[in-house]
Structure 1
Amino acid sequence: HKTPSLGLEVVSVYLICQSGDISISTCAKYGRSDRTTCSEGIPDYQTKNTDCAMSADLVFLRCDGESECPFFVSSSVLGDPCVGTFKYLEVKYVCYSSLVTCEGSISHIQCENGVIYVSSAKYGRRDRRTCSTGITDDQRRRTNCSTRANYVFRSCHGKSECSILVSSSVFGDPCIGTYKYLEVNYRCQR
């Protein structure tokens, strides 16, 4: 998504994922790296400097992991890498869905149109709130005990659907005596 912005002008962009969360796939850039992008109606002297794009880390910090993200594009917000040049913001992102399944349940992932692309999968416990209903405090006290769930990658990646029993017998036990859960971030890819 490329959005034009000239230092004094403020343009609002709205990144959104209808289902899932925003994942910035490459670094967001603000400035100008070519003469043709966002150049219609712009004087030639304002598109001449094409070596002035800088990383827009603020976009990543504000938007990555959110389902929607309104953002103001201007030099006062992002900095001005090239005064007098008509600039644009370039952000490449994908939308990932998240699925959390409690221990002892079946995790089911399905893509109606396409195949499953697993971005991350962890089994264990990373906080006290997730999957905590009816679970004693002792069983959720330990929160830094998750491990990469490679079985999800092998079983689901590239398929249109998969079902997995969420259990230490499948994933191993990263924290004995702790009630665990499976967290999967994925997207449906055509």
Structure 2
Amino acid sequence: MGFIHVLDANYGRTDPNKCSEGKTSNELSNVHCFQETSLRTMTVRCNGRKSCTLSAVNSVFSDPCSWTYKYLNLSYECRPLNNSDVISIHHANYGRRDFVTCPYRRAMSECYFTQTTSMRSRCNEKKSCDLDASNWVFSDPCYRVHKYLEVTYSCV
């Protein structure tokens, strides 16, 4: 059993024929529709996992081109597990740094706390690490702001 490594991704439309059944010509005409953050979204959410389920919708990727019917074009490979690898946390934030990631209604403010030390104490030197991205785990840096956890790590 291996893990997912995303090679390339685009949420948009580059082919007039792909996913075209039942769509109007207006919905299919823009074949220069690219979401520049598609690769980052997919790597953050799927890299290193054994499986990954993600909906190809505007609420996940944001809308790169209005009135165009979009699809996710994805290239990935399965890499073998190295049984000696352990997690090394580089950086972690809990809160909200932008309005695109995990959109929730209309987030009106940015607010986050660096959680690198906390994540290192919970996950460094482990082969896997599961925890809830919640106020119970990280405390509440921003009252009434919908939050998410960002973690940069590697397997060493």
Using the size of structure 2 for normalisation, the TM-score is 0.51
Q: Percent identity?
A: 32
Once residues 4 and 35 of structure 2 are traced to their aligned partners in structure 1, the CA distance between those partners, rounded to angstroms, is 21
SS at match of 2:81: strand
> Could you tell me which residue of structure 1 aligns to residue 11 of structure 2?
30
Gaps of 5+ in 1: 1-18, 103-126, 131-182, 184-190
Listed one character per residue, the Cα deviations across residues 73-132 of structure 1 (whole Å, up to 9, x for unaligned) are: 211221101111100011111111112359xxxxxxxxxxxxxxxxxxxxxxxx6457xx
Once residues 48 and 129 of structure 1 are traced to their aligned partners in structure 2, the CA distance between those partners, rounded to angstroms, is 49
Runs of 4+ displaced beyond 2 Å: 99-102, 127-130
> Could you tell me which residue of structure 2 aligns to residue 43 of structure 1?
24
C-alpha spacing 1:129/1:38, structure 2 compared with 1 (3 Å): closer
> Could you tell me which residue of structure 2 aligns to residue 61 of structure 1?
44
> Could you tell me which residue of structure 1 aligns to residue 81 of structure 2?
98
Instruction: Quote how far apart the aligned CAs of 1:40 are.
Output: 1.7
SS at match of 1:68: coil
Which structure shows the higher strand fraction? 1
**Kept after mapping to 1: 8 A contact 2:5/2:76:** yes
Gaps of 5+ in 2: 86-123, 128-155
> Could you tell me which residue of structure 2 aligns to residue 176 of structure 1?
none
Structure 1 residue 88 and structure 2 residue 79: aligned?
no
SS at match of 2:41: helix
Once residues 23 and 80 of structure 2 are traced to their aligned partners in structure 1, the CA distance between those partners, rounded to angstroms, is 39
Using the size of structure 1 for normalisation, the TM-score is 0.42
**Kept after mapping to 1: 8 A contact 2:35/2:61:** no
Task: Note the aligned Cα RMSD (angstroms).
Answer: 2.1
- What is the number of equivalent residue pairs in this alignment? 88
Instruction: Quote how far apart the aligned CAs of 1:68 are.
Output: 0.8
State the AA in 1 paired with 2:16. Answer: R
SS at match of 1:46: helix
SS at match of 1:91: strand
